[in-house]
Structure 1
Amino acid sequence: MKQEKKRKGFNYPHVYIMFLIVMLLVVALSWIVPSGQYERVEDPVTGAVKLNTDVFNYVEKSDPIGFMDFFTALHNGVVQSADIIVMLLFASGALYILEKSDAIAAGIHKLLRVAEGKEKLIIFVLLTVFAIMGTIGFGEGGIPFIPLAMAVVMGMGYDRITAFATSTVGLAIGFTAGAVNFYTTGVSQSIVGLPIYSGLIFRIIALVIFIAISVVYILRYANKTKADPTKSIVAEEYSEQLENAKSAEYEEEAFTLPRKIALLGLVGVLVGSAFGAIQLDWGMPQLSAVYAIYAVFLVIILRINPSEAATTFGTGAARLLPTALAIGFARSVMILMTQAQIIDTAVHALSGLLSNTGSVITLLVLFLVVIFFNFFVVSGSGKAVILMPIMGPLGKILGINQQVMVVVYQFGDGFTNYLWPTSGGLMAALGMSNVSYSAWVKFSMKLFLLLHFAAFLLIVIANYLGLGPH
């Protein structure tokens, strides 16, 4: 009977298959949508290449997508994503050394004793910590810490979905609010000529609202499933988790001084990475180096045999290989769209469509367009370079403040990074956390609808108040 029920439900295809389907859709669109491009000009001061939105031309399909192009895009996608992939491999390897040393287990046991009776507070604190990481621009950079937070939440007796949501939703709302997120807020503001990180108070207020909505939603689910495990989205696994927790006789690991120092070093990795990203313009190579240094640090502090540590590092990195390929396949979609030369055509059509509409309708349409566009172009900074040169002038024509246009962009970009299946970061997080995409969509869809609704209300308020450049 159980097997029959499983067959009746819809099963999402494997993430690789989903990427191939989206790539086929792009190929189909390349034969329907005419190719076009804006003139590119180099800024004499910065040397950056920008779009000249006054000059657009339709062009012949000089390089149509061929059979081999489709499949070589997979290879090129992995190669072009190498910086993110390598950073995650280094992080996964280093953190696996920490995990195998039992330092994490010892720290979690200690935390669970302190957290007894304060489970809801712990969930709130963890979500807020990840939100802070997100708001300073941690996207993929925060992913390695998700399994660690999940271990704490599941150790308090909650299911895997609650544990995953606590950290992942935190990253999502923080990245979307983007108080000091250079990848969306910073890049967008620089393109339209606003002071970097201006409008900070508004974005902090938005972050607080997003946190409040998320905490209420997650705790409501957490309390419901803890009271009745059959209501969990992963009910079968959750029941096994609870049974194992009852029957297991845990041999608590000693929280020794070396293990405390090892975990303190992990905090140092997080703080140092955040400082480097904000103050020193660190990118993925520097973040990879931080995890390499941390791995060496662990070998010394925990007195691990170097050869054994090297083997453990490789094993930890290997666990992320399927996820690494998913990140590369996500980039393949953008490669095909660029080859088809249909991105500029879509943007040009959008600017013409909205030139005669009212401000609120324009804001709504732009908000929805950014959300939709994010399905194909996940990169926050890359999408800003494409869309903001259009959205900025459009705002001036319609009398919409440039700061408001930046808010429209960042709010439309952020949330769906943790919902669309083409997001390599989301697929990496799901893969590391052993959470299926279908289970995540089932849990998060209503939450993200609520967050998008709140985000648009904030956009309307910002427009009504004339949110200024400071």
Structure 2
Amino acid sequence: MQHNTPPKALSMPDAFVILFFVMVLAALASHLIPAGSFKLLPAQTNAQGEVLKARIDPQSFSYSQDNSQGVVLFAEQGETGFLNYAFEGMVSGDKMGAAIGVIAFILLTGGAFGIIMQSGAVNNGILALIKRTQNMQFLFIPLMFTLFSLGGAVFGMGEEAIAFCIVLLPLMLALGYDAITTVLVTYIATQIGFATSWMNPFSVAIAQGIAGVPLMSGASYRMALWLVFTLFGVIFTMRYAARIKQQPKLSLSFATDEKLRSQQLEQQQSAFSALDAAILTVFVAGIAWVIWGVVARGYYIPEIATQFFALGIATAIIAILGKRMTINGAADAFKQGAAELLPAAMIVGMAKGIVLLLGGDDPTQPSVLNTLLHLAGESFSGVSSYIAAWLMLIFQSVFNFFVTSGSGQAALTMPLVAPLSDLVGVSRQIAVLAFQLGDGLTNCIVPTSASLIGCLGVVRVDWMVWAKFAWKLQLWLFVLASLSVFVAVAIGYQ
């Protein structure tokens, strides 16, 4: 008798597997595409007396004469080979936002929140809050989304969303939403604000300075785009959240969400108490300290990580004095919190290996990345202004896969794209806009974005699961971005 066994469900490849094969393609590209480099123009002083950084000379591109191009399988003496990508990627850069800095940020913040969540105060406070605000919950998502979008627009909020994902996830789950909604309200909102910003010093100001456009000019059109994109994001998120609240099993993150919900119930200590109030008061004060530091003092990854570490220590002290936690229990909670985020931290580092295998992002050193940049720039000539502007958007979107830093991408691409925009009849302001939209919006899905992987890691959502959900969102955002660029050309945006 023949038994028909049901076919096994096709499992999605792990993010580490996807990343490995991207590395294989990058290594092959290093052998097939000749490396090239640019020369830099000397630093100049603008009309305001500000010294501008040295820029790429678009006419200076030359191919490398080194015939030994291409990464080797295994490299020695600190060089980059194919098998070295994991280690070299994780230790690349510095503490101010490169791979090693983001890894340390994720681990320290995860450990601190491990203590905070183990104390039970957050869960007790959430349940008490829900009971008192039953009639106002409909305002929560649009308010949070708008605030995070504003944060992205005003001061380039991005990596900071990782910590807020940890903060808001328990509340989202308690309200009947899911982890994906948490990422939408926090990280996606910041990137929509980042992409349509009129004053972000880390993208708009740098790109306009390189392009020779007056700093912070063209603000009115960008403000209008911010309103349109933010409104779209709010509507998209609210529709999704309502559907998940009505039918939780529709969520792609349902299994992990249920596990986290069960953990929340286990961590719930009792009714809201004075000890909970004390811990949450310190917690709120710590969040206020972080916000003040970012806005008033320009704090970034090293300072923010330290602030959350201090917050974890303060929480542990209060919980220990209140006999809710032991010293060893606090240490175990810290280790567990960091351990749960270790996969996300490792992916952040390994993703940096893509750029290393392509030769790095230094425009003066021969690399495949420089050659791709040069070839893309040449493809813009000889087309209409509408198509040229749209190709700029596509180019910046694709290039963001390799260089997700807004300031880094501006430094690499704008010296080439800005002069080309003159040749094809597109204003330099539109070239800057195409850079903004291409850079910011694709951060919502590219696996090389440290901030995205960090946010997904802390809410326990695999990147492949996120990609399955986010491709429709990304498509809509690209359509809106394309329309924005076409309208800019039509109105002669300057």
Question: TM exceeds 0.5?
Answer: yes
Q: How far, CA to CA, are the matches of 1:319 and 1:243 in structure 2?
A: 16
User: Which of residues 66, 85, 97 in structure 2 aligns to 1:73?
Assistant: 85
Contact 2:256 2:460 in 1 (8 A): no
Alignment of 1:232-381 (within 5 A): 232-234=251-253, 251-254=270-273, 256-276=276-296, 280-299=297-316, 309-338=330-359, 341-381=367-407
Deviation at 1:296, TM superposition (A): 4.3
Match for 2:461: what amino acid?
A: V
Q: How far, CA to CA, are the matches of 2:256 and 2:304 in structure 1?
A: 35
Write the deviation string for residues 273-311 of structure 1: whole angstroms up to 9, x where unpaired: 3215xxx44432232333334344445565657675455
2:133 aligned with 1:103, yes or no? Answer: no
Deviation at 1:42, TM superposition (A): 4.3
Partner of 2:199: helix, strand, or coil? Answer: coil
2:437 aligned with 1:402, yes or no? Answer: no
Match for 1:400: what amino acid?
A: V
Closer/same/farther in 2, CA of residues 204 and 263 from structure 1, 3 Å limit:
farther
Deviates more, 1:88-97 or 1:451-460: 88-97
Q: Look up the match of 1:64.
A: 70
Write the deviation string for residues 237-269 of structure 1: whole angstroms up to 9, x where unpaired: 678889999999984332654134223213313
Q: Look up the match of 1:34.
A: 34
Q: How far, CA to CA, are the matches of 2:301 and 2:485 in structure 1?
A: 32
Write the deviation string for residues 201-251 of structure 1: whole angstroms up to 9, x where unpaired: 333322221121122222222223333344333456678889999999984
Deviation at 1:25, TM superposition (A): 0.6
Contact 1:187 1:384 in 2 (8 A): yes
Deviates more, 1:205-214 or 1:324-333: 205-214
Write the deviation string for residues 116-142 of structure 1: whole angstroms up to 9, x where unpaired: 133332111222222223222121222
Deviation at 1:392, TM superposition (A): 0.8
Closer/same/farther in 2, CA of residues 37 and 394 from structure 1, 3 Å limit:
same
Contact 2:36 2:63 in 1 (8 A): yes
User: Which of residues 210, 215, 223 in structure 2 aligns to 1:191?
Assistant: 210
Closer/same/farther in 2, CA of residues 428 and 344 from structure 1, 3 Å limit:
same
Closer/same/farther in 2, CA of residues 352 and 164 from structure 1, 3 Å limit:
closer
Closer/same/farther in 2, CA of residues 361 and 247 from structure 1, 3 Å limit:
same
Match for 2:40: what amino acid?
A: R
Deviates more, 1:184-193 or 1:199-208: 199-208
Q: How far, CA to CA, are the matches of 2:277 and 2:141 in structure 1?
A: 27
Match for 2:295: what amino acid?
A: F
The answer for unaligned runs of 5 or more in structure 2 is 46-50, 75-80, 93-98, 361-365
Partner of 1:8: helix, strand, or coil? Answer: coil
Closer/same/farther in 2, CA of residues 249 and 345 from structure 1, 3 Å limit:
closer
Alignment of 1:136-155 (within 5 A): 136-155=155-174
Partner of 1:434: helix, strand, or coil? Answer: coil
Partner of 2:12: helix, strand, or coil? Answer: coil
Closer/same/farther in 2, CA of residues 37 and 410 from structure 1, 3 Å limit:
same
Closer/same/farther in 2, CA of residues 298 and 323 from structure 1, 3 Å limit:
same
Deviation at 1:198, TM superposition (A): 3.1
Write the deviation string for residues 134-174 of structure 1: whole angstroms up to 9, x where unpaired: 22212122211112212212211123333332323212212
Closer/same/farther in 2, CA of residues 122 and 238 from structure 1, 3 Å limit:
same
Q: How far, CA to CA, are the matches of 1:268 and 1:67 in structure 2?
A: 48
2:231 aligned with 1:205, yes or no? Answer: no
Deviation at 1:179, TM superposition (A): 3.4
Contact 2:348 2:450 in 1 (8 A): yes
Q: How far, CA to CA, are the matches of 1:357 and 1:345 in structure 2?
A: 21
Closer/same/farther in 2, CA of residues 246 and 342 from structure 1, 3 Å limit:
closer
Contact 2:123 2:267 in 1 (8 A): no
Match for 2:283: what amino acid?
A: L
Closer/same/farther in 2, CA of residues 259 and 349 from structure 1, 3 Å limit:
same
Q: How far, CA to CA, are the matches of 1:411 and 1:207 in structure 2?
A: 11
Closer/same/farther in 2, CA of residues 33 and 248 from structure 1, 3 Å limit:
closer
Q: Look up the match of 1:53.
A: 58
Match for 2:58: what amino acid?
A: T
Deviation at 1:22, TM superposition (A): 0.9
Write the deviation string for residues 300-354 of structure 1: whole angstroms up to 9, x where unpaired: 5656576754554344333322211111011110111125711221122122221
Q: How far, CA to CA, are the matches of 2:250 and 2:387 in structure 1?
A: 39
Contact 1:137 1:180 in 2 (8 A): no
Write the deviation string for residues 359-396 of structure 1: whole angstroms up to 9, x where unpaired: 11001111111111122222222111111111111122
Identical residues among aligned pairs (%) = 26
Match for 1:59: what amino acid?
A: S
The answer for unaligned runs of 5 or more in structure 1 is none
2:233 aligned with 1:214, yes or no? Answer: yes
Q: How far, CA to CA, are the matches of 1:205 and 1:270 in structure 2?
A: 29
Q: Look up the match of 1:456.
A: 482
Contact 1:126 1:149 in 2 (8 A): no
Deviation at 1:406, TM superposition (A): 1.0
Alignment of 1:124-143 (within 5 A): 124-135=142-153, 136-143=155-162
C-alpha RMSD of matched pairs (Å):
3.0
Match for 2:284: what amino acid?
A: L
Q: How far, CA to CA, are the matches of 1:194 and 1:218 in structure 2?
A: 35
Name whichever structure is richer in helix by fraction.
1
Deviates more, 1:229-238 or 1:281-290: 229-238
Partner of 1:157: helix, strand, or coil? Answer: coil
Partner of 1:348: helix, strand, or coil? Answer: helix
| TM-score (norm: length of structure 2) | 0.84
Deviation at 1:93, TM superposition (A): 2.4
> Across the two proteins, how many residue pairs are aligned to each other?
462
Q: How far, CA to CA, are the matches of 1:443 and 1:295 in structure 2?
A: 33
Deviation at 1:15, TM superposition (A): 1.5
Write the deviation string for residues 12-41 of structure 1: whole angstroms up to 9, x where unpaired: 322222221111111111222222111134
